[in-house]
């Protein structure tokens, strides 16, 4: 006995396209974040090992986004990192938060937390910076690192969903462009005129072929 058509159960599940895109975007963001952090930490190690010519482009690159003052930078093997202590906290906090992101939140979600939490995470950084600027309290490497890491780790929960949403949108547009020609061909096939067939005269057996 054959089962009715309405009770048919598919033997495979359709591909979760949005999940694959989300995973790919997360992996790319995590890889870039770790690469940047590796360059920051690797620069002083290159200098210490006698490869200053390789470290110079790294220092020059990060010089566009950081003041790199030696007295405000962490040191490794007697040489400063490629960025100051606050920027090191920013990059390190973001990289760690991105790596742990799937454990805290589904990669498929593209909504972001309330902006209140991002502003709240920024407050300690601003206070630590302001107290130092107005010479009310001398901030330290630890305070600069921690306040930077706090802000960037929270910011990851706004950046990752935004990039995932962007990646999914680009994928949908790409699929739409790919499927459009086939849809147009199918529509054209439906409107092609059908040649009429010759009538058959069954009332006159003598005229049959």
Per-residue model confidence (pLDDT) at position 115: 96
Contact assessment for residue 66 and residue 83, using Cβ atoms and an 8 Å cutoff: yes
Tokens of 57: 């482009």
All structural domains of the chain with their residue ranges: 17-171
Give the DSSP letter string of the chain.
Answer: -PPPGGG---SSPPP-HHHHHHHHHHHHHHHHHHHHHHHHHHHHHHHHTT-HHHHHHHHHHHTTT----GGGS-EETTEE-SS-HHHHHHHHHHHHHHHHHHHHS-TT------HHHHHHHHHHHHHHHHHHHTTSS---HHHHHHHHHHHHHHHHHHHHHHHHHHHHHHHHHHHHHHHHHHHHHHHHHHHSPPPPPPP--TT-GGG--
Rg (CA), the chain: 31
Per-residue model confidence (pLDDT) at position 193: 59
pTM: 0.78
Per-residue model confidence (pLDDT) at position 15: 54
pLDDT tens string for the chain (209 positions)? 455 555 544 444 445 678 899 999 999 999 999 999 999 999 999 999 999 999 999 999 999 999 999 999 999 999 999 999 999 999 999 999 999 999 999 999 999 999 999 999 999 999 999 998 888 888 999 999 999 999 999 999 999 999 999 999 998 888 888 776 656 665 665 655 555 555 555 555 555 44
Distance CA 147, CA 94 (A): 12
């Amino acid at each position: 006995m054959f089962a009715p058509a309405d009770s048919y159960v598919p033997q495979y599940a359709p591909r979760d396209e949005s999940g694959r895109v989300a995973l790919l975007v997360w992996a790319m963001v995590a890889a870039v974040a770790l690469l940047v952090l590796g360059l920051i930490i690797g620069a002083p190690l290159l200098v210490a090992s006698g490869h200053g010519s390789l470290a110079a482009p790294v220092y020059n690159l990060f010089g566009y986004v950081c003041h790199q003052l030696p007295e405000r930078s962490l040191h490794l093997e007697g040489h400063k990192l490629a960025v100051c202590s606050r920027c090191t906290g920013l990059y390190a906090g973001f990289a760690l938060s991105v790596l742990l992101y799937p454990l805290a939140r589904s990669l498929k979600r593209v909504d972001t937390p309330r902006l209140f939490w991002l502003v709240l995470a920024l407050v300690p950084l601003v206070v630590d910076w302001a107290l130092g600027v107005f010479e009310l309290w001398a901030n330290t490497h630890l305070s600069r690192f921690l306040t930077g890491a706090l802000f960037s780790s929270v910011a990851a929960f706004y950046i990752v969903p935004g990039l995932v949403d962007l990646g999914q949108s680009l994928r949908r547009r790409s699929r739409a462009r790919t499927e459009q020609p086939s849809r147009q061909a199918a529509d054209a096939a439906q409107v092609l005129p059908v040649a009429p067939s010759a009538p058959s005269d069954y009332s006159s057996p003598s005229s049959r072929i």
